[in-house]
Structure 1
Amino acid sequence: MLHIEQVADYAQKSSKELNITKYDIYGAAIEETSIEVDSGKPKQLQASNRSSITVRVWNKSGNIGVTTTTDLDKIGIKLALQTAKDASYFGTQEHVPDFSPEANTVIESTSTKISSPTPIPILIDTLIAAEKTLLESSSIIKSVPYNGLSQENINRFYLNSTYSLRQENLSYNAIYFYSRTEEEGKKPRGASSIKTSRDFSTLDIEGCLREVIKKTLSHVNYQSITSGKYTVVFSPTAFLSLINSFTNLFNAQNILDKQSLSTINSLGKRISVPFLSLYDDARNCNNVGIETFDEEGTPTRRVEIINNGILTGLLHSERTAQRLDTKPTGHANIGSKVNIRPHYYHVISNQQANFECNLNMVKNVVFIDKLQALHAGVNSLQGSFSLPFEGWLVNNGNFVSIDSATIAGDFLKLLNSIIHVESEPEITPKGICPKIWVDNLSITGD
């Protein structure tokens, strides 16, 4: 059990002994259990209890040193402060990070809490029973090569030498299945599903099973697709994964480093169709991994990124906010360099209903459920992508699985080729988003 007040006391006493007047510490303690099964038997069981902190020290010249440690007793914290102090004399002298101006502001409380860990035998029995249900659902589903059931309890904290002290507790549960078919004369086909929740009792295991069974069987009767231009409908998961591949568009650090599709002058300019809006909302009640502050102690908040097609906001750390004369947004990850990461997306639209954009009524439309190889098929600095995908060719509500194909395009052009944003949002682990219809995208078939 990590005692934050004790860590703060060790840091305060050690800093005086070491003549350190300015420091901050971000840390987390994680208790995690994860299991996998295979053919009705436990395959892998992992359990861990780990803690670590990142320590930053500013010397009298204003330079900063950074170190990390997993040794959180009095000696370990003193050694980390000393190491960071020594490193500060070799630190960068340009754009040195500082304390967040909001590190001491009051944070509005949230309803998150730590849930009691579920006993491991119950987790194993649950996953074995779920695997059995999946295998018995169809004679052509022969295996579940990838599966998992996990639970995490996380204790995060931030403190600094000006007596800021923040902490929060999170609980996270997840279940995952990837099933595989085998039929004579046909290629093996597979599909996956994942569900998350804040505690085991509310984990939608049945929903996960229904989804993976339906998807798997829908891919059995597959056909090749003719290469060409298609209207494409992105599932919420697929569209959010594409947005996540091009976060440099609204990442202030990337923009300042000139590693972005945007520039400082892009704010206030149109980058997408006028009926699309995008937010980053760490505190959304549907976000299982809700965080109320970032690693600099800045409170998180709902940040407007795109409003009716206009780029209106960026994600900031303390340093990027100061350089661009604005406020930090609660997206900082500290380390040898402060990085910026998004939390939880929310895509909305003010578009009127378009009854012609209905998968039960259209012809020759590609519905993409999942994009693959995002690590290799995206050039985020050029804005281009070429990605294999899982999906179907849709004709009047008839879904035919696509054998093997890739989708290619330019992300900024895609944002301006959206023809419809459906009204019904779907909740995913990465954010809230409806289905997105995009015109005239290139599909290369087998």
Structure 2
Amino acid sequence: MTTQIDNLATQAQEIAKRLGIPKYDVYGAVVDEMSAQVDRGEPKQVKASNRSGVTVRVWNDSGTVGVTSTSDVDPLGLEMALKTAYDASLFGAKENIPDFSPEAIAPIGGTPEEKAPQAPVTELIDKLVHAEKELLAAHTAIASVPYNGMAQRHIDRFYLNSEGARRNEGHSVASIYLYSKTEQEGRKPRSAGAFRVSRALDGLDIAACVQEAAEKTISHLAYDKVKTGKYPVVFSPDAILSLLGAFSNLFNAQNVLDKQSLSTPESIGTAIASPLLSLCDDALHPENVGGESFDGEGTPTRRLSLIENGILTNFMHSAGTAKRLGAQPTGHANIGAKVSVGRHFYHVFPGQPAEKEYSLDDADGVILIDDLQALHAGVQSLQGSFSLPFDGWLIENGKRTSIESATVAGDFRKVLQSIIYVGKELELVGGGIAPYVWVDELSITGE
């Protein structure tokens, strides 16, 4: 890949010189993916794809910028992209014009990942068929695994600019998802799922995925209604990361500047959560499979503290937002028609020591929320409020009873302030790593 990037950089330099373009940058990614789904022991869907996308930005003599995208990186395609971007630059915005990241040529530490060899698609199907069979055999009530999938992908990314920046990296990701559904006479169907990810298919813990999906599904068989009221609530690692993701405008500098955030520039240094909570965004966390070492502007990624002992410590920045707010780029830029800011991998962990430790083994009168649903519809991200259906259990004297149907509602800022315990054991879920988080009280509406 390094040789290809060097060739691409040389071609871009020659073409830009011929076209009279003094300033440009190029960001791109190539994804080679293979996936499979099965249905009752037979392949349901098999896909293979090779996708590439390249974004080219060109600055003209007036300093305005034009952007274009292409999937063609041969000399002809690159020349057309540079020409089109230059033409677009004549109509570029005159305010808050993006520029190169000051860190686009800063050194990146660490050792590049080796890409794992891709297994044949027959191996994906065989492993997934076996996993489905084991899950169906876990309990007589489990009637189907309607949603399942196994995938492996290779991802190559690169960034280069006219000032000599050249970055590239490649990594592999393998994943499995199982979601089972029950059928019992006179009872409502119940369902639950599990997910595992690894750098290679050989390292994928399929047995643990099957076991988790089975245990969660079986635990929902003996369900009951829950009375409407206020309850102490425990968010699972997946649930707390879902909420943090839904309200990530709190930490997004572009949202702050656009006044589309619950934070303002003056929020840095203020207490927004219980001192028991700390949160980082850490693209380079060892558990982050497929973590990126640089962003769309070539800025190295890093561990960024967002909440430290309840205090808001940083925003996530692109080069442009950092310049406007007098900060440093943090490696969170995404390049497209405009530069946006996005998170990588949330890491939730305890802040200050809690006065009292809590355990689910002896909890009483507590709602455990395992999975939040309808986040696209039930979250008012600019008001801070949410009302979401969930899967979970009522825990009484340590005994779990599945909740038939209920919603949880509240204000996210109050949730952060009302945290009474942050567990010590962390679990890896999609998008981050987190413990169980205990909240003093939330409104639960039963059926």
What is the TM-score of this pair, normalised by structure 2? 0.98
Partner in structure 1 of residue 300 of structure 2: 299
Given that 1:356 and 1:362 are in contact with CA atoms closer than 8 Å, whether structure 2 keeps it comes out as: no
Q: Is 1:163 aligned to 2:164, yes or no?
A: yes
Alpha carbon RMSD of aligned pairs, Å?
A: 1.2
Matches within 5 A, 1:238-257: 238-257=239-258
Distance 1:109 1:23 in 2: 28
Give yes or no for contact 2:230–2:442 (8 Å, CA) kept in 1. yes
**Structure 2: which 5+ residue stretches go unaligned?**
none
Aligned to 2:52: 51
Percent identity (aligned):
56
Equivalent residue runs for 1:118-133 within 5 Å:
118-133=119-134
Question: What residue is the counterpart of 2:31 in the other structure?
Answer: 30
Closer, same or farther: CA 100–380 of 1 in aligned 2, 3 Å: same
| Alignment map for 1:40-439 (pairs within 5 Å) | 40-352=41-353, 357-439=358-440
CA distance in 2, matches of 1:14, 1:130: 52
Contact 2:253 / 2:317 at 8 angstroms: preserved in 1? yes
Change (3 A) 1:421 1:356: closer
Shift of 1:348: 1.5
Partners of 2:102 and 2:425 in 1: how far apart?
39
Residues 310-353 of structure 1: CA deviation (Å, up to 9, x unaligned): 11111000000001111100000011211000101111113436
Q: Which amino acid aligns with 2:330?
A: T
Q: Distance in 2 between matches of 1:307 and 1:351?
A: 9
Q: SS in structure 2 opposite 1:293?
A: coil
Q: Is the 8 A contact 1:351 1:421 kept in 2?
A: no
How big is the shift at 1:110?
3.1
The whole-number CA distance in structure 2 between the counterparts of 1:285 and 1:193 is 21
* CA distance, structure 1, for counterparts of residue 201 and residue 354 of structure 2: 37
Query: C-alpha distance in 1, partners of 2:7/2:31?
Result: 17
Report deviation, 1:49.
1.1
How many residue pairs align between the two structures?
A: 446
Q: Larger deviation: 356-365 or 146-155?
A: 356-365
Distance, in Å, in 1 between the alignment partners of 2:276 and 2:354 is: 12
> Whole-Å Cα distance in 2 between the matches of residues 177 and 355 of structure 1?
36
Amino acid of the structure 1 residue aligned with 2:101: S
Alignment check: 8 A CA contact 1:40 1:132 kept: yes
C-alpha distance in 1, partners of 2:269/2:352? Answer: 20
Instruction: Tell me which amino acid in the other structure corresponds to 1:143.
Output: S
Task: Report the 3-state secondary structure (helix = DSSP H, G, I; strand = E; otherwise coil) of the residue aligned with 1:375.
Answer: helix
Q: Distance in 2 between matches of 1:216 and 1:242?
A: 23
1:109 Cα deviation from its structure 2 partner: 2.5
Counterpart amino acid of residue 261 in structure 2: S
Q: Take 1:110 and 1:218, find their aligned partners in 2: how far apart are those partners?
A: 43
CA contact (8 A) 2:53 2:70 kept: yes
Structure 1 spans left out of the alignment, 5+ residues: none
What SS class does the counterpart of residue 110 from structure 1 fall into? coil
The offset of 1:181, in angstroms, is: 0.2
Matched to 1:377, the amino acid is G
- Per the normalisation by structure 1, the TM-score is 0.98
d(CA) in 2 for partners of 1:268, 1:140:
52
Give how far 1:289 is off: 2.0
